[in-house]
Structure formats: structure tokens, C-alpha cells
Amino acid sequence: MKRVAVFTSGGDAPGMNACIRAVVRGGLHYGLEMFGIIRGYNGMIKGDIIPLNSQSVSNIVQRGGTILKSARSKEFMTPEGRKKGYDQLKAHGIDGLIAIGGNGTFTGAEIFFNEFQIPTVGAPGTIDNDLYGTDYTIGFDTAVNTALDAIDKIRDTADSHDRIFFIEVMGRDSGYIAMQSGISGGAESILIPEERQTVEDVVSVLKAGFDRKKSSSIVIVAEGDEEGHAAEVAEKIKATIDVPVDIRVTNLGHIQRGGSPTAYDRILSSRLGLGALEGLLNGQKNVMAGIVNDELIYTPFHDTITKKKLINSDLLRMASILR
């Protein structure tokens, strides 16, 4: 193996640049020619592939987003699009790939490997922390701290005006951000896709707070919760609760994806980037590099995509006790 290309795909996550840096400098350390594919699978199809050296990844470890850009490619979902991508890789002499992304990225990578057998190792880059085969994904810790900072500020306003705030955080089908930011932010209720909680359950918690003379409350809602988005949940609560109360809704949205990565995310990203690169050199293919119990492991893309990553049951228990 002489030429390796790295790309980022799907939603951006703080720490992707640190991961790119680790991949590139690791490759240069082992005598490889390193390349970057701009805008993920779209760039692969178009041949937007550039050489990378040590200077290319200088001064990026602290930057959010991704210097290689990111995009979702409908064309890559077709056999014709994947064939174009393969032809471009061959034209550039690429022998192996490092894919930084989430579920959709690895789904595409698995299909691509099965069709063309270009060795590919993934690094888990998504703030959702929903990938089986790693305890934490790149960007999750930063997203939780970003959400927590906002929750702390909203708590001040809630206390000042005796309000209930419903705060929506990202996570799609995963409640990891909601659970960790909710517990650390002292939320009275946390709604996540992994655990069914009805409107009546939330009303019961809020009423118990009123009985204790609690003047304000915070309810965290994961965007994928079965009861709906935060605005929908707030409307249902308003129609159900029989206590006069001022209810407000805040959707934190894409601020959770941006910003300088935390120290933890920078270290995690560097470990995963170098681990993915070294795995590729050691014959790993069609797998994702992950950290489980502080050890580097490799999980087949198929398992990463299809197996459900469960939230720690102790966190669920603790959240119900501490609210």
C-alpha cells in the first residue's frame, strides 16, 4: 500500500479535523503518500482528490468542522455513481481509504468495498454517539458540553421568570446527547427515543415539582423522541397540565455541531485516526476503528450499521432518581 486517501462524510462533528490530522501525519510517518477527498463521496465521484502533506494539516487540531468539507451524495447510492468513484480512485492510484463519518458513511463504504474491494477503515465521526463498536464517537463530548452551556444559561432565565423550558437537542434516533446534557444540567425530565415516556409521565414529574414549591423546570427532548419534537411536547403538556404556568421552547439546533472540540474529543479523534490508519496498514478492511473500555478495537461495518447501541441502564436509573 502506497497511497491512502481520507475523507469526511455526512454531518460534520467537532474533532474531525483532529482525526484528519492524525490520519495524514500517521501515513507520512509510515512512508505513505496521503490524499484528501473533498466533499466525501461527491468528491470521489468527481475526482476532487488532492495530495496532503504535513503542512496541509497544520494548525487544524483546534478547529471545528472539517477542512475536507462534507456532503451527502445521492449519486453514490447508485451502482453507476459508485463505479465513477472507483474509476477516480484508480486514476489517482489510491490503494486504501479512511472514511470519517457515521451510519450513512459506513453503509456506503460497506457496499463500495463489497463491489470493488478497496480496503477501507472507518473512524466514527458523529455527535449522536449512536455507532455500535465504540464507547464514544468523535464530536459527542463537544456537543454535550455545547448543549450544557446553553441549558445552564436557559436555567438562569427559567428561574428568573418562573418558567418551564422545553429544550430540544440533536440525536435523531439516539438519546445520548439528551441524557448526558440533561443529567449534567439538572433537568427535571429527559425524553429520549430509547425509553418510552408519555406526556402524563412528564406532567406527573412537573406537578411533583410544583408541590415542592419549585418555580421553574427544564425538560430536555431528544429530536427523535416518540412524543415528537420539543414544540409538540410542550403543546401537549400545556393542554394537559391544570396548573397555570409559562411554557417556552428552545431548539438548540446546529450550534451543537460547531465549535472548537474539547480536549477529550481532540485526543479521541487522534487515537481513532491513527488507529484507523494503522489498522489499514495491518490488513484491516471493511471495519470501523473504535475505543471500548479504553482499548482500540475494530468492528465490521455491518455490525456497526445494524447493531443497536444501548444507553447505559444506570444512567436511565440515575436520571429518574435525581430529577
Question: Binding-site residues for Mg(2+), please?
Answer: 103
> Within 10 Å of residue 206's Cβ, how many Cβ atoms?
22
Any idea what the Cα angle at residue 270 is, between residues 267 and 65, rounded to 5°? 90
The one catalytic residue among 128, 130, 141, 265? 128
All residues at 6 or more sequence positions from 247 whose CB lies less than 8 Å from its CB, including other chains: 163, 164, 165, 166, 234, 237, 238
Give Cα separations from 49 to 79, 99, 232 (angstroms).
Answer: 20, 14, 44
Binding residues, by number, are 11, 21-25, 72-73, 102-105, 126-128, 155, 163, 170-172, 186-188, 212, 214-216, 223, 248, 254-257
Looking up cell 480536549, which residue turns up? 263
What is the rounded distance in angstroms from the CA atom of residue 39 to the CA atom of residue 94?
Answer: 17
- Transcribe 151-188 into DSSP letters: HHHHHHHHHHHTEEEEEEE--TT--HHHHHHHHHTT-S
Q: Would you call 128 a catalytic residue per the annotation?
A: yes
> Could you tell me which of 38, 2, 315, 10 has the C-alpha nearest to residue 138?
10
Q: List residues with catalytic annotation.
A: 128
